[in-house]
Chains A and B, each alone.
Chain A
Amino acid sequence: VWNSRRLVLAHLWFAFAGFGAALLLGEWQMFIRSPLHAWISDPEWYYRSVTAHGTTMAYVFPALVAMGFGYFVTEKSLSRPLIGLSWAWIGFALVVLGTVTAIIPVALGLASVLYTFYPPLIGNPFYYIGVVLVVVGSWVWVALTSVNLYRWKRDNPGAPVPFAMFATVTGSYLWGWTAVGAALELLFQIIPVALGLRDTIDAGLARVFFSWTLHAIVYFWLMPTYIAYYTIVPRAIGGRLFSDSMGRIAFILFLIVAMPIGIHHAFEDPQVGAGFKYLHSVFTAFVALPTLLTVFTICASVEIAGRLRGGKGVLGWLTALPWRNPVMLGSALSFVMLGFGGAGGLINMSYQLDATVHNTQWITGHFHLIFGGAIVIMYFVIAYDIWPHLTGRALDSFGLMRAQLWTWFVGMIVLTFPWHWVGILGMPRRMAFYDYTDPAIAAQAASVTMSVIGGAILVLSGVLFLIVLARGQTAPRTEPGAYRFSVAAHPPRSLPAGLNGFGLWLGLMVGLTIVNYGFPIVHLLATPGTAVPAISVGVR
């Protein structure tokens, strides 16, 4: 049963090609605003590049990885052909079409509004329409995942849904609901203005809608990584998943507490009441729960592997682990970056501490460490793990894989630690030029230069990654055997309905969204005089 092989490969290759191009743009941005390069004199080029980098890395790349890996998990975990293969291809085509539609106006300099849109800035309508197409394409995946689950449940009444499938469906539902905020903003606020039907926009309301998407999208990026932690890592290193139920609870908690908490992205915005900012902070703090559950479960699962391999004593199991296995190495490095990134996140979500880092390079450093570091390194691990099953060819450049993972880790640390540091010193983000001869910021020059070096290491690592995959595409044919997900120490024979279905959790997610967002949105909609003139952006 394997009819989505080409589909998954198409998703992943398009994702990684876009990733490679956007990676180069990122390093170019680091370089031209560092002391190593003179002022480019036209800042528009910088914002054009940032828009392309952000749109590709934040929307297209993770959506395609989640979709491709999601189809893979659906078919392999349910052990039956994917239902709706042609629909899946239509979804993929929409994402590709949307990417091209969006990137052309960006490349022409007609939509340098950055991927977070920043109304009242308004760019070329095709940019926004392209982003909408990408989202619609990903919604096809959400629908197909759901259809596959419910057909399987109908045919296997009462049987526990395989954990990998349960987690994938959680991720798809999270994304389905998360994307609604940005979709409302684009369809009802930005696109009418971009098309010239209106010339004012309620920027405050638009920012509230975007915050609906902006935080939970991070957890959507995170989902494939978490699925890999739970379903790939224990199997790949010869261990058992410590607890199946704990994993399900962690994913369910993400569905509830990761979604309606985005107003902490609008801490400094005057249009939202302080009470709602506090309420969102409270729920943001609860994200620590599923995160710590995961850290505990995965460490316990890895310990099982270490002990099965003969590790003894309090710490002896650590040295017994297969550190030369890319999956082991990648997930350990991912955990380290998750730890640092999570610690930074605690600062961002605190109202008072956030005021000191708001709009500084700290924020850029933070999300690169979490997303580019902890999350993306697991995308590499996923690709390495499933590639032989996609190509039917061996993927055995293990030395190269280890070098790639290590360079990604080192590069990301060298990139983001100085980035955090200059943020604390007060360096603002989203600026194309810094005058390092000014004594006030001269001290930041060394840190910024260090970040450029980190970025260069990441480019090297990205090239290594694509080489490994390309070699896998040309290696001799081999029979990879059946794909297996990790097995729990106590595999579930039957599960309570709450851990086998989604009705209750989706209800809680939507209900909590209404509690946390309902009043601010209705209030802003009902308040007159909040619209401001749109400012068109673009080469004239």
Chain B
Amino acid sequence: MSRDRIASLSNPWFTASVGITAAIAIVGAIAGFAWLPLQQQGERFRGVWDAICSAVGLVRNAPSGGQIVRGDYPTTRVEIVPQMLEGASAEAIGRGATLALRCTMCHGARGLSQADSPNLAGQYPVAIYKQLVDFRTGARASAVMAPLVANLSEADMRDLAAYYAYLPRPSDQAPNTDVPP
């Protein structure tokens, strides 16, 4: 079976196998890239080419001239990336502890709430930081929290996050018996 004999139209094995495979691929492609996308309800394609571009995975631009709708409510500005807020210094934790005195009434003396407010002890620092920023920007609304965070600086929020992350979390093995089952 020499190489030139394989890829030749006079070789029936070649024509049959390549022909059948190509036919399946072509029929599958027509169905998958054009026919099925055009059958989708709710997709507003402008012509077949637009449907094909969508089906192959190209990112489509918004329709020109159309109105781009933006939400009229604030969304979070925090972008969480790995290793964010890691390695807090002892000074940061200390400053956070001082700032946290004003949180104790609801969140407890050491981050364990007696008032059904969330426990903050041992919480991930990015989680604390994100909530504080969201309360400040209005992405998360709370009549209680909003005035408390209004005057916090960026550094204050990072320090608070570092302090609560530093506190030991309630043991997984011994659930808080104060909480009703």
Chain A residues 257-287 with CB under 8 Å of chain B are 271-279, 282-283, 286
Q: Are A507 and B7 in contact (CB under 8 A)?
A: yes
Q: Are A282 and B24 in contact (CB under 8 A)?
A: yes
Q: Are A533 and B81 in contact (CB under 8 A)?
A: yes
Query: Which chain A residue shows the least CB distance to B82?
Result: A535
A500 within 8 A of B: yes
Q: Are A504 and B6 in contact (CB under 8 A)?
A: yes
Q: Are A508 and B82 in contact (CB under 8 A)?
A: no
Q: Are B5 and A497 in contact (CB under 8 A)?
A: yes
B57 within 8 A of A: yes
Q: Are A534 and B57 in contact (CB under 8 A)?
A: no
Q: Are A279 and B32 in contact (CB under 8 A)?
A: yes
Stretch of A10-18, A319-327, A512-520 that contacts chain B: A512-520
Q: Main SS of chain A's interface residues?
A: helix
Taking CB atoms, residues of chain A closer than 8 Å to B61 are none
How many contacts between A and B, using CB within 8 angstroms? 89
Smallest Cβ distance from A262 to chain B, in angstroms?
15
Taking CB atoms, residues of chain B closer than 8 Å to A500 are 1
Taking CB atoms, residues of chain B closer than 8 Å to A276 are 32, 55-57
Query: Which chain A residue shows the least CB distance to B84?
Result: A533
Stretch of B12-20, B66-74, B100-108, B112-120 that contacts chain A: B12-20
Q: Are B21 and A512 in contact (CB under 8 A)?
A: yes
Smallest Cβ distance from A377 to chain B, in angstroms?
33
Size category of the B interface is 20 to 34
Q: Are A271 and B82 in contact (CB under 8 A)?
A: no
A279 with B25: in contact, given A507-B7, A533-B81 (CB under 8 Å)?
yes
Taking CB atoms, residues of chain B closer than 8 Å to A507 are 6-7
B36 within 8 A of A: yes
In the bound complex, CA of A536 to CA of B31 (Å): 42
Query: Which chain B residue shows the least CB distance to A512?
Result: B21
What mask results when residues 23 to 34 of chain B are scored 1 for a CB within 8 Å of chain A, else 0? 011001101110
Query: Which chain B residue shows the least CB distance to A41?
Result: B172
Choose among B17, B21, B25, B54 the residue that contacts A273 (Cβ–Cβ < 8 A).
Answer: B54
- With an 8 Å Cβ cutoff, the count of chain A residues facing the other chain is 36
In the bound complex, CA of A469 to CA of B107 (Å): 63
Smallest Cβ distance from B48 to chain A, in angstroms?
12
Taking CB atoms, residues of chain B closer than 8 Å to A313 are none
Query: Which chain B residue shows the least CB distance to A282?
Result: B28
B3 within 8 A of A: yes
Q: Are A273 and B58 in contact (CB under 8 A)?
A: yes
B37 within 8 A of A: yes
In the bound complex, CA of A497 to CA of B32 (Å): 35
Query: Which chain B residue shows the least CB distance to A502?
Result: B1
Q: Are A515 and B25 in contact (CB under 8 A)?
A: yes
In the bound complex, CA of A496 to CA of B5 (Å): 13
Q: Are B56 and A273 in contact (CB under 8 A)?
A: yes
Taking CB atoms, residues of chain B closer than 8 Å to A274 are 32, 36-37, 54-55, 57
A39 with B55: in contact, given A282-B32, A496-B13, A501-B1 (CB under 8 Å)?
no
Q: Are B57 and A272 in contact (CB under 8 A)?
A: yes
Q: Are A508 and B32 in contact (CB under 8 A)?
A: no
Smallest Cβ distance from A268 to chain B, in angstroms?
14
B52 within 8 A of A: yes
Pull 5 A–B residue pairs with CB atoms less than 8 Å apart, ordered by A: A256-B17, A283-B28, A497-B5, A503-B1, A520-B57
A residues whose Cβ falls under 8 Å from a Cβ of B: 39, 41, 256, 271-279, 282-283, 286, 496-498, 500-501, 503-505, 507-508, 512, 515-516, 519-520, 523, 527, 533-536
